[in-house]
Structure 1
Amino acid sequence: MNEYESSGIAAGIGAGVIFAYLAVIVVAVIGMWKTFEKAGKPGWAAIVPIYNIIILLEIVGKPMIWILWLIIPCVNLVFSVWLYNLVSKSYGKSEGFTVGLILLPFIFWPILGFGDAKYLGPSAAEAQNGFGNNPFNNPNNPFGNQNNPFNNPNDTPPTPPVV
């Protein structure tokens, strides 16, 4: 085997890897397209680079300032994981599905788009009311409404002394 034959084989392997990589990307984008359509957003937004992030932020209910956090190096890793977790929650999925969206997007975006998952609404709205199952529905009041020492209508402010 001479050097021309081995370079041709290497080029063929490289071309095969490139086509396989492009096929994986196309499958992930098609899944994201269908996911956007389930949320009532335009599906074509999945192929526009910055606009697809804006649509994802609208789907999960986060403010547009998150675009800044998603383009800052190192910070974007944390916010991307958080965004994918909110996408999973918006479609009624668990944290395990978030791990799948991060590690195997070409499998989990089509599952989200073509599967039986329904868009439940922005998951960030429930995060604004507090975290977890807060029985008092107010994260700043651990006492509830009946025993709230901060909001007693019988209390009157003290009057200043007369000098």
Structure 2
Amino acid sequence: MFTLSHVVPLLADMQTADSSGATTSSTIGGIIGYILFVAAVWPFLKKAGQPGWTALIPVVAAFFIVRAAGLSAWWTLLYLVPIVNIVFAIIVALRLGRAFGHGALFSVILLWLFSLIGYFIISYSRDTHDHARI
């Protein structure tokens, strides 16, 4: 006779298999995301006159991205304040876009909404950073 006691261990085995598979795929996704972040931000920071190696530590990279936007690194703490962080991120994107000679549309869409793509475009194009444009 088939009872519920036979099904419960089978379900437990299935949950274990799913969670380990999900953990593995999310770990691989995280590593790929980190590699893409470093590949996009390192040359971006170098073009902006900041140390490129700071892209290896994403929190530190945020300080230097804010500095590339012409603001004090202390302003980076605004990323910790809810709602304010959204407004601040748009301001940083606009200032970075202007510093590299791009308009507001490029800045908002590619440096704020899809920042990784925007950083790749600026990093591997002939754009130059000019503090006078900020």
Q: Give the TM bin, normalised by the shorter chain.
A: 0.7 to 0.9
The reply on whether 1:14 has 2:10 as its aligned counterpart is: no
* 1:119-146 deviation line (CA, Å, top 9, x unaligned): 223543xxxxxxxxxxxxxxxxxxxxxx
Tell me the residue number matched to 1:120: 130
Q: Offset of 1:36 from its aligned partner?
A: 0.6
Change (3 A) 1:50 1:15: closer
Amino acid at match of 1:112: I
Deviations 1:51-78 (A, max 9, x none): 4333223322224552343433321221
Query: Conserved in 2, the CA contact under 8 Å of 1:39 and 1:119?
Result: yes
Q: Which runs of 5+ in 1 are unaligned?
A: 125-163
Conservation of the 8 A alpha-carbon contact between 1:32 and 1:113: yes
Q: 1:79 aligns with which of 85, 88, 91?
A: 88
1:46 and 2:71 correspond: no
Q: Which runs of 4+ in 1 moved over 6 A?
A: none
| Comparing 112-121 and 65-74, the one that deviates more | 65-74
Partners of 1:15 and 1:87 lie apart in 2 by 36
Once the two structures are superposed, residues 96-152 of structure 1 have per-residue CA deviations (whole angstroms, 9 ceiling, x without a partner) of 32222222233222222122222223543xxxxxxxxxxxxxxxxxxxxxxxxxxxx
Contact 2:98 2:133 survives alignment (8 Å): yes
Alignment check: 8 A CA contact 1:54 1:64 kept: yes
How does 1:27-46 map onto structure 2 within 5 Å? Answer: 27-46=36-55
Please list, as runs of the form range in 1=range in 2, the aligned pairs for 1:1-163 lying within 5 A after superposition. 2-3=10-11, 4-5=13-14, 7-98=16-107, 99-124=109-134
Which is helix-richer, 1 or 2? 2
TM-score by length of 1: 0.62
Deviates more, 1:19-28 or 1:51-60: 51-60
Q: Cα gap change, 1:83/1:123 in structure 2, threshold over 3 Å: closer, same or farther?
A: farther
Distance 1:13 1:122, change over 3 A: farther
Deviates more, 1:47-56 or 1:18-27: 47-56
